[in-house]
Amino acid sequence: MTTLEAFLEEHPLVEYFRFQWVDYSGVFHGTVIPKARCLQVAADKNKIPSRLDNGLEKCPRNALDKTLRKLELYTQLLVGFEIEFILLDENNKLPEQLDRITGEFVFAGLRGGTMDFLEEVCAALKEAGIEVHTFQSEQGDQLEISLSPLPPMEAVDATLHALETIRTLAIAHGYKASVSPQPVLNGPKSGMHAHISLNPLPRQADAFIAGVLDNMKALCAFGLPYEYSYRRCMDGGAGYENRWEFRFIDGTANLYLVMAALLAAGLHGMENATELRWKDCKLWYQKSTPEELKRHGMTEEMPTTMRRTLNAVERSSMLESALGKPLLDQYLRTKHHDLKHFLNISEDEQRMLLLRYF
């Protein structure tokens, strides 16, 4: 019995399969294939790649897979994503509601239809085998669903499924769910923060985070992949007792590429015993003085333009080695094209363009 036949025996109600992928611009693509056609393809061995890495040198998912295989020599990882999003009406504006979300962790706005919608999302994700960690209001007019941690590849797969579930059920309720960095000008700014833990914690853990911080400017080209993304650029991450939170990611990113690049940077730090020059900062960044930040080794600000991050990528031999020159060159061509287009249109036109896809 083939893997496909075993799956169908366990799930007899499945009639269609989604073949889906995310392009270098972060846009979700796919085609739907009937069960009978899937069985035909599976029966023809000539149509199925014999190796995962055969001819997939530009594939973001394959790049993440190769990075994870190398990391297995040191540790195992768990990743959980926070999905921040906003509900919009048919005119891409905030809907007029009796019960409006007024701030972080408040129940205002989570009564009535909004709560019904969130409960439906959680039920659908549970049915798909995806565990929701929490959901709540985040900022005024903004919602957040946090997924429970999974191994990195599974975490990205689950997050993409969760995004489609949120969008689909929002439409059923008469809304459009957007994960764009700022769906409404002067409105809340949304991210796709990643929480990462190393299990067990290796002795090179400091070198892992040092490798990430050393390459932060270049990594932003993957996590904040549009000029419009930098409207929300403030800080890069936060540390907790047993995990790191990376905030330089938004909903327009290709999450496979982000994770491949981020984990490759951490792996490079471990392989080269990179020194952690930054001290553990207990201060809130926005309320700290330049002198306090300097004492903690925080002497550089996050990049505020896409051009600066692309320049950093072009200078990074680490990323070229980790992701492969064919993939990195194609990504740079794509993002330079995106940047050229975005610099020639207004911020509101940028906003509307991203709303078409995100």
Average pLDDT of the segment spanning 278-293: 78
Q: Which residues contact 38 (CB under 8 A, 6 or more apart)?
A: 4, 17
Task: Say yes or no to pLDDT of 23 above 80.
Answer: yes
Reported confidence tier of residue 303, pLDDT bands at 50, 70, 90? confident
Average pLDDT of the segment spanning 264-270: 97
Q: Which of 250, 162, 238 is nearest to 195 (CA)?
A: 238
Which pLDDT score is estimated for 302?
82
CATH number, span 60-357: 3.30.590.10
Question: Which of the residue ranges 13-27, 105-119, 239-253 would you say has the lowest mean pLDDT?
Answer: 239-253
Write down how long the chain is.
Answer: 358
Which pLDDT score is estimated for 144?
97
Which DSSP letter does residue 99 get?
S
Question: Which of the residue ranges 153-167, 297-311, 341-355 would you say has the lowest mean pLDDT?
Answer: 297-311
Average pLDDT of the segment spanning 282-310: 83
> SS3 for 163?
helix
Which pLDDT score is estimated for 235?
46
pLDDT tens-place string over residues 65-109: 999 999 999 999 999 999 999 999 999 999 888 788 888 888 888
Which pLDDT score is estimated for 117?
95
Give 136 or 103, the one with higher predicted confidence.
Answer: 136
Distance CA 107, CA 121 (A): 18
Task: Say yes or no to pLDDT of 234 above 60.
Answer: no
Which pLDDT score is estimated for 53?
47
First to last CA, the chain: 40
Cβ count within 10 A of residue 265: 26
Distance CA 289, CA 298 (A): 11
Q: What is the DSSP string of 200-251?
A: S--TTHHHHHHHHHHTHHHHHHHHS-SGGGGGG----EEE-SS-EEE-S--T
Q: What global pTM score does this model have?
A: 0.92
- Side-chain half-sphere CA neighbours of 123 within 13 A: 7
Domain limits of the chain? 3-47, 60-357
